[in-house]
Structure 1
Amino acid sequence: MVFSPLSTLQPRDWHKTIHVRVCRKWEFRETNENSPLQHIDMLLVDSQGNTMYAEIPAKEAEKHGPVIQADRTYVISRFRVYNAKSFFKPVPGQYMFEFTCHTKISVANEQITEPKYIYSLTPFEKLPEFINDNRKFHDILGIITEINEPQWIPFSNQPNPSL
């Protein structure tokens, strides 16, 4: 079977089939963990190292959510590709991927193992530049060097400060 690289996908490519590994998977529930599920989010990577953000909408979460696991490789077809969101982007890219009620998923025989992680590190000293910037997610690695009392910080997207 011929698989399409993620880099070639465009809107209305519902007839293509992809071979991808799920690098990350998380649930989005609005402001806190007790809120209703809005969608399940994922980062997909293909054998060429191309990446794409993917979503399982809440209405399809019960069907597809348990099937898809992080760090597993799948063959997926009958999906929807559309313009990527302009905010909270986990990876750069023009398009994103959405699972539909018609999406077909099967565990792949051939596993994709590299790259193991998908990230774009933000230097710790540059973090203040991105306060209240919601265009992308920021991956940060750090070492705890000091512990202080917690502080309340106001965010533009929340009515009250957060601890």
Structure 2
Amino acid sequence: MVHMTVFLSDLQAGRSSSTVQVRLLRYWEDRNFRRGGELMGVDMLLLDSQTTMMQASVNSHRIPKFRETLTAGKMFTLSSFDVVSCTRNLKITESPFIIRFNDYTEFIEMTTPSSPLPLEAFRFLSGTELLRLANTNSQLTGIVLGT
């Protein structure tokens, strides 16, 4: 099946039959420490050629299918996935959505994207903007200190 290639910003809620080309910036295990550290899944941060970032998630029972593929910094084509609304408590990007891998998801490493994919993405905020976001759980913020 041929999938139409789109950008992360083009995605809408529901099952997607499109393909996105992304760089896997970071990934981490999602654990429930109220249940003894039970592995719930793997979360990741994806970036496309328009510097749009979106969180993606792999449920724990699907991890074996993708574990060997997950490498931060690598580029991938991603197709056949679900797009769901992002809850406020889990929001780490400006996107209102999260990509959820399903049983049909394909996450294939590529070497040459159709458009260059940036290595990183940053958003600079003033001190006032950082204070406004403090304790809101609406953004994942950090501070870079110069030398």
Regarding TM over 0.5, the answer is yes
1:116 alignment partner, one of 116, 119, 123: 119
Say if 1:121 and 1:139, in contact at 8 Å, map to a contact too: no
Larger Rg: 1
Range 131-140 or range 95-104, more displaced: 131-140
Q: Which of the pair has the greater relative contact order for Cα pairs under 8 Å at 6+ separation?
A: 2
- 1:129/1:15 Cα in 2 relative to 1: closer, same or farther (>3 Å)? closer
Q: What's the counterpart of residue 77 of structure 2?
A: 75
User: Could you tell me which amino acid in structure 2 is paired with residue 89 of structure 1?
Assistant: K
Structure 1 distance, partners of 2:18, 2:72, is: 22
Say if 1:11 and 1:83, in contact at 8 Å, map to a contact too: yes
Normalised to the residue count of structure 1, the TM-score between the two structures is 0.73
- 1:55/1:98 Cα in 2 relative to 1: closer, same or farther (>3 Å)? same
Structure 2 distance, partners of 1:126, 1:79, is: 34
Alignment of 1:135 with 2:138, yes or no, is: yes
Q: What's the counterpart of residue 60 of structure 1?
A: 62
Structure 2 distance, partners of 1:113, 1:26, is: 25
Q: What's the counterpart of residue 98 of structure 1?
A: 100
2:5 alignment partner, one of 3, 6, 22: 3
Q: CA deviation at 1:132?
A: 4.1
User: Could you tell me which amino acid in structure 2 is paired with residue 138 of structure 1?
Assistant: T
Q: CA deviation at 1:109?
A: 3.3
Q: CA deviation at 1:9?
A: 0.5
Higher helix share: 2
Say if 1:77 and 1:105, in contact at 8 Å, map to a contact too: yes
Say if 2:51 and 2:121, in contact at 8 Å, map to a contact too: no
Q: What's the counterpart of residue 24 of structure 2?
A: 22
Structure 2 distance, partners of 1:95, 1:52, is: 7
Percent of pairs with identical residues: 24
In structure 2, list runs of 5 or more residues that go unmatched. Answer: none
- 1:88/1:119 Cα in 2 relative to 1: closer, same or farther (>3 Å)? farther
Say if 2:19 and 2:80, in contact at 8 Å, map to a contact too: yes
In structure 1, list runs of 5 or more residues that go unmatched. Answer: 145-163
Q: What's the counterpart of residue 49 of structure 2?
A: 47
Q: CA deviation at 1:74?
A: 0.8
Normalised to the residue count of structure 2, the TM-score between the two structures is 0.80
Count of residues paired in the alignment:
143
